[in-house]
Structure 1
Amino acid sequence: MTLLALGINHNTAAVDMREQVAFTPVQLESALAELRALPEVSEAAVLSTCNRTELYCVTHDTQGERPILDWLGRFHGLPIEDLAGCAYHYLDVEAARHLMRVAVGLDSMVLGEPQILGQLKEAYQLAREHSGLGGELERLFQHTFAIAKQVRTETGIGENPVSVAYAAVSMASHIFDDFSRSSALLIGAGETIELVARHLREAGVRNLVVANRTRERAEVLTRQFDGRAVTLDEIPEVLVHADIVISSTASPLPILGKGMVERALKRRRHRPVFMVDIAVPRDIEPEVGELGDVFLYTVDDLHEVIEENRRHRQLAAEQAESLIEQGVGSWQHERRIRSAGDLIRRYREQGEAVRAEVESQALAQLARGEDPEKVVSRLTRQLANKLMHGPTLGLREASGAERHDIIAAAEALLFDSSRSGDS
């Protein structure tokens, strides 16, 4: 069995490719079922965020990642050549290390951002609920969550919270000198928008409007920040008053089109609007950026702000890398012990079968009235010969083939007195 991590993220693909391979919440369940049903896959979990789509699988196929990549292309109707050019994959130990780095935020666009751990836990829970997890992925995810908690506790990786949401608000501050005079329209009501709302409120924005598909969910969020909740249908009206627009939904189609924004600008008398589209797929049509009074940015445009934050967190990241290496080492050690379990079980069963056979013969001889002393002597000799026969033949063959590694391992196992005992 091989542990495989295959994905596409912000380091390997632009936003237009990432949005094509992203799974919407509606697609996730069927995607997981399809992936798990592949003959090459015995366990699977799917992680899909605005910056990455990753598949974690336990596979027994000798072709490695290719069947999984083929499936990803079929699911999204994409040419395999396009995917292969921006996909990455890791196997076994490297896959475990990658998952831990993702969980801690070391592989994120914003170094150390905390949201990814929650998203990873959601992916784990979904896989668990739909029979995607077996023993291998279950143990890996649990081990990963423990390491992530240790990193958050023992390093400064999570201090001074920074995220895509924070970067978006930081960029807006370069355009608006006084946030208290600005009105903000936030589209969506998920965790990212909640973070945006918090950062905007802390920056001084007092007029917040949250638009969401369901008004109830938006109201839950706006109650925290004394804002106003509207539905998506009301966006054309509230857009007229918005100086800042930040959108992050899971909609498969754009929510803001060029025509809608043009009409709002006319009513605003062309006062400028700052827009950030954090969503993948995009919520705002790219053509909106062609309008003269709109400053439109996507997640890819946030790199400069993010790099500044990354420098501040580099020391903590180095400490986190060290803890992750320890975590990978302990996971690998436990995995090796588990992999030897079947071998140990079969070896003990073989020894027990030999013992039972020799015991049966000895009892039969005693029942016939043979000398007990001779029976015991014969029993011990037969038992020793049967137990040593296989290893002796193996050592002779290894010696003839000059397999010194096998001979050295056998010597360590057979003559290490510290291993002796009655267990």
Structure 2
Amino acid sequence: MTLLALGINHRTATVEVREQVAFDPAELDAALGELRGLPEVREAAVLSTCNRTELYCVTDPEGEAVVLDWLGRFHGLPVEDLSRCAYHYLDHEAARHLMRVAVGLDSMVLGEPQILGQLKDAYQASREARGLGKELECLFQHTFAVAKQVRTETGIGRNPVSVAYAAVSLASRIFEDFGRARALLIGAGETIELVARHLVEAGVRQLTVANRTRERGEQLAAPLGGQAITLDAIPDALAEADIVISSTAAPLPILGKGMVERALKKRRYRPIFMVDIAVPRDIEPEVGQLSDIFLYTVDDLQEVIAENRRHRQVAADQAESLIEHGVGAWLHDRRIRSGGELIHDYRSRAETLRDHSLEQALARLGRGEEPEAVVRRLAHQLTNRLLHGPTVALREAASAERHDLLQAATDLLLDATPDKTR
């Protein structure tokens, strides 16, 4: 069996492609069921965020092509187009990739902490969908342990750096005094909550959170001194906003060009700074064509992210070292599990031969045969049956000059066998 990690991310695919391949939370159970139902797939987990969609699977050797084809079919994309921006890792490289993802080394913002929570959500979803087996269960547990060690022993997570932080940092370069800026945040998830906290810490005093349910918006806004509105109140709030940052899971854009044009007219064309963190996008790309709008997407945060990478590179190097130890520990456990399965299978075969020989011996005793003769025959027969398979394999190895197998057989069958004559 092969451990496979296959996906796309912000380095290999544009936001237009990533939003087509993203999994809606409502369809995740069905997706996991389909993926796990493929004959070549034994275990499966799906990680889908604004910056990456990745599938972690235990498959047959030819499973990579099957999984890529399924991903294309599920999202209605030609597999040829998808393959141009997809990457894959196998076995220990797949384990290393997952651990790097978990600690934020593969993120757009180096060391960002949200990805670990998203990975734990992906693990839980797969577990509930019965997509996990021994292999992925062990891999995820090793990964979470490594991520905890990296966060504890390195400085990679000490500063509040994330996509949310990068967005606020970019806004700070445009607004000299955040205390006069009015911010409109659309959505009420973890990213928007981080954005809100960073804005308040930076000095923003007027904060509005727009969300599908007003109750959730109030839970986020109230502790920070902000107010909450529903999505249908956005047009009026937009006219008052200097900063707009959006991150929802809506399948279609929330802000269109016409709505923004009307807001600009009401505010007498005072500029608006906008950041669209969502995938699929919340703000129509055409909004960026308006002369008084400064629209940025997650792909436009590269300058802020590059600066962040310079500050965190030392911690990242330390994290890479810890990950190598983590991969080694995972490989060690994997080999032990593999050896345990082999031992179990070999003992089961030996016990079957034993039981068969024992039944024959008991039948002979039942027929009144001499006990000593029956016991001697049992010992001879059992020895022949147990040694027949290994003997044939040794002869074939000798004939093919497989010295590696012969040496392994010597180590296993002779050197490890207790000598009762000593």
Letter in 1 for 2:17: M
Question: Residues 95-174 of structure 1: matches in 2 within 5 Å?
Answer: 95-174=94-173
- Give the match for residue 31 of structure 2: 31
Q: 1:144 offset after TM fit, Å?
A: 1.4
Distance 1:123 1:299, change over 3 A: same
How far apart are the structure 2 equivalents of 1:252 and 1:15? Answer: 14
Question: Residues 292-307 of structure 1: matches in 2 within 5 Å?
Answer: 292-307=291-306
Deviations 1:88-113 (A, max 9, x none): 11122221211111111111101111
- Secondary structure of the residue that 1:65 maps to in structure 2? helix
- Give the match for residue 77 of structure 1: 76
How far apart are the structure 1 equivalents of 2:271 and 2:15? Answer: 25
How far apart are the structure 2 equivalents of 1:232 and 1:420? Answer: 81
- Secondary structure of the residue that 1:280 maps to in structure 2? coil
How far apart are the structure 2 equivalents of 1:70 and 1:132? Answer: 19
Question: Residues 56-95 of structure 1: matches in 2 within 5 Å?
Answer: 56-60=56-60, 62-95=61-94
How far apart are the structure 1 equivalents of 2:158 and 2:418? Answer: 48
Q: 1:72 offset after TM fit, Å?
A: 1.7
- Give the match for residue 348 of structure 1: 347
How far apart are the structure 2 equivalents of 1:409 and 1:132? Answer: 36
Distance 1:414 1:23, change over 3 A: same
Q: 1:253 offset after TM fit, Å?
A: 0.8
- Secondary structure of the residue that 1:295 maps to in structure 2? strand
Aligned residues: 419
- Give the match for residue 51 of structure 1: 51
Q: 1:375 offset after TM fit, Å?
A: 6.5
How far apart are the structure 2 equivalents of 1:58 and 1:361? Answer: 43
Identity of matched residues, %: 73
The question of 1:221 aligning with 2:224 is answered no
Question: Residues 248-267 of structure 1: matches in 2 within 5 Å?
Answer: 248-267=247-266
**TM-score, normalisation: structure 2:** 0.93
How far apart are the structure 2 equivalents of 1:385 and 1:27? Answer: 57
Q: 1:365 offset after TM fit, Å?
A: 6.2
Letter in 2 for 1:188: G
Distance 1:413 1:312, change over 3 A: same
Gaps of 5+ in 2: none
**TM-score, normalisation: structure 1:** 0.93
Q: Does 144-153 or 222-231 show the bigger shift?
A: 144-153
Question: Residues 324-343 of structure 1: matches in 2 within 5 Å?
Answer: 324-343=323-342
- Secondary structure of the residue that 1:313 maps to in structure 2? helix
Q: 1:33 offset after TM fit, Å?
A: 2.2
How far apart are the structure 2 equivalents of 1:172 and 1:419? Answer: 74
Letter in 2 for 1:12: T
Q: Does 375-384 or 329-338 show the bigger shift?
A: 375-384
How far apart are the structure 2 equivalents of 1:350 and 1:329? Answer: 32
Distance 1:296 1:335, change over 3 A: same
Equivalent pair of 1:366/1:375 in contact (CA under 8 Å) = no
How far apart are the structure 2 equivalents of 1:186 and 1:19? Answer: 21
